[in-house]
């Protein structure tokens, strides 16, 4: 009988995972998916949101799902893996206590202190007066201000003035714009250096790194404009960084994280994603994520050369081995096309044109905020498409991705994208 796989989420990450997993002998179910996830082989979209944990468990039972893969962080924080496990439904991702690495930045800092994992010096506050005094004493140029809980990529402020720093504290601690997520605020030492996304599979014991990837967080070229969920990414095999650095990331960050979680009685199974800053003093953890990155997953899936389902299931079953992970040589670049007004106020409804012009197996258009209505693809969210291309070199891959973007190829009204993905990197 065909294996039945449920993927929860609706972004480019979930489309890329489904694209890699699709097969004639599998059925894929997306909750809720986007305009293209249901066009994959034997795939369907189901109208359930990722945070509707009980509904997903019921659906998985009704549809006799063999394996559930969780894309976003919210359901992991809500305990979707715990719920599925209690229903005997195998799934990929950490339990809610293990997900605290991402769902509470203050908890993660305490954990790193205990495990001697390198990270920026951090103080936590619940009172505005103490926080304000601390920022004034340190100087706004030397701090980054973050809310403790999940904030969809909007909870960290790298202030560019004293006023911006103080405003951030007021929004978090007085106006309570982030609700419970902002009850505790972190004021962190500001680090400088190149940023890197280090993702690794873990079965609770063994850690097998994926390729390191680079994410472009700012809206505009040359890293200007506001922070976003990610405007593009790339990965290369072999990586652009040295073997020594990769080894250091493994032995000082990834492995001690997984070891510490296991020793605390809360083993981490799933994909661990450390957002790193490469400082003069070595790599340091800016944040943990407990799931695949978006848009890092898109290039990673283009290069992944092993059986992805086996690798994911090995994480759940405690049988992970380095042979579960492998990548073809070359590079992949993902350029995100975002809607007008993104990230503050994304506009929906524009017609997406030119999708039919892509006819090259080395270019995949991963959908995110899209909907198919009355015969047309339309914008339905902030990040709309991730144009992802494979090339022998990074330059080839970037050129290919950009070749299908623009007036005479893929475009929509108000489309925003960066022109330096994979071309200029720090």
Contact footprint for ligand AMP (CB under 6 A): 120, 144, 146, 156, 158, 188-191, 195, 217, 227, 275, 286-287
Rounded-to-integer distance, Cα 398 and Cα 2, Å:
37
To ligand AMP, the closest distance from the beta carbon of 191 in angstroms equals: 4
Rounded-to-integer distance, Cα 315 and Cα 310, Å:
9
DSSP line for 101-116: HHH-HHHHHHHHHHHT
Query: Of 397, 163, 23, whose CA–CA distance to 5 is shortest?
Result: 23
Query: Of 197, 222, 200, whose CA–CA distance to 209 is shortest?
Result: 200
Rounded-to-integer distance, Cα 358 and Cα 363, Å:
7
Q: Which is nearer to ligand AMP, 149 or 260 (CB)?
A: 149
Q: Which is nearer to ligand GLY, 310 or 425 (CB)?
A: 425
Q: Which is nearer to ligand GLY, 157 or 169 (CB)?
A: 157
What residues between 94 and 153 interact with ligand GLY by CB under 6 A?
153
Instruction: Select the residue interacting with ligand GLY from 289, 313, 370, 380 (CB under 6 A).
Output: 289
403 makes contact, choosing from ligand AMP, ligand GLY, none, with CB < 5 to 8 Å by partner type, with none
Buried/exposed 175-186: b ≥16 CB within 10 Å, e otherwise? eebbeebbebbb
Give the containing element (helix H, strand E) for 403: helix 394-403
294 makes contact, choosing from ligand AMP, ligand GLY, none, with CB < 5 to 8 Å by partner type, with ligand GLY
Burial class for 171, CB neighbours closer than 10 Å (0-12, 13-18, 19+): middle
355 makes contact, choosing from ligand AMP, ligand GLY, none, with CB < 5 to 8 Å by partner type, with none
Only one of the segments 114-122, 277-285, 288-296, 348-356 lies at the binding site for ligand GLY (rule: CB under 6 A); that segment is 288-296
What residues between 294 and 333 interact with ligand GLY by CB under 6 A?
294, 296
What residues between 146 and 165 interact with ligand GLY by CB under 6 A?
153
State the number of binding residues for ligand GLY (CB under 6 A). 7
Residues that bind ligand GLY (CB under 6 A): 153, 215, 230, 289, 293-294, 296
């Amino acid at each position: 009988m065909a294996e039945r796989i449920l993927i929860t989420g609706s972004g480019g990450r979930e489309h890329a995972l489904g694209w890699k997993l699709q097969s004639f002998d599998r059925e894929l179910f997306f909750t809720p998916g986007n305009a293209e996830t249901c066009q994959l082989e034997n795939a369907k979209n189901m109208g359930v949101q990722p945070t509707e944990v009980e509904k997903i468990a019921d659906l998985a039972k009704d549809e006799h799902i063999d394996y559930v893969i969780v894309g976003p962080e919210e359901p992991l924080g809500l305990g979707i893996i715990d719920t599925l496990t209690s229903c005997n439904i195998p799934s990929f991702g950490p339990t809610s206590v293990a997900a605290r690495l991402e769902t509470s930045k203050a908890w993660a800092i305490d954990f790193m202190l205990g495990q001697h994992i390198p990270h920026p010096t951090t103080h936590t506050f619940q009172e505005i007066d103490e926080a304000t005094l601390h920022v004034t004493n340190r100087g706004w140029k030397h701090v980054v201000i973050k809310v403790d809980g999940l904030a969809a990529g909007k909870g960290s402020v790298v202030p560019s003035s004293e006023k911006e720093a103080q405003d951030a504290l007021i929004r978090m601690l007085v106006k309570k714009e982030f609700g419970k997520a902002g009850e505790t605020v972190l004021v962190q030492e500001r680090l400088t250096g190149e940023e890197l996304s280090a993702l690794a599979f873990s079965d609770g014991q063994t850690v097998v790194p994926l390729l390191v990837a680079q994410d472009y967080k700012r809206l505009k070229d040359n890293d200007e404009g506001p922070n976003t969920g990610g405007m593009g990414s790339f990965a290369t095999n072999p990586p652009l960084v040295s073997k020594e650095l990769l080894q250091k990331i493994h032995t000082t960050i990834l492995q001690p994280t997984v070891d510490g979680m296991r020793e605390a009685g809360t083993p981490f199974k799933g994909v661990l994603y450390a957002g790193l800053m490469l400082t003069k003093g070595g790599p340091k953890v800016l944040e943990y994520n407990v799931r695949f990155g978006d848009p890092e997953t898109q290039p990673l899936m283009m290069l992944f050369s092993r059986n992805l389902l086996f690798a994911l299931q090995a994480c759940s079953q405690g049988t992970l081995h380095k042979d579960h992970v492998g990548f073809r040589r070359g590079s992949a670049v993902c350029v995100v096309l975002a809607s007008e007004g993104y990230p503050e106020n994304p506009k929906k409804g524009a017609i997406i044109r030119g999708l039919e012009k892509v006819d090259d197996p080395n270019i995949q258009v991963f959908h995110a905020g899209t909907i198919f209505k009355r015969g047309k693809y339309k914008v339905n969210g902030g990040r709309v498409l991730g144009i992802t291309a494979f090339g022998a070199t990074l330059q080839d891959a970037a050129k290919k991705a950009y070749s299908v973007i623009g007036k005479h190829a893929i475009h929509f009204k108000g489309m925003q994208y960066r022109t330096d993905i994979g071309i200029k990197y720090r």
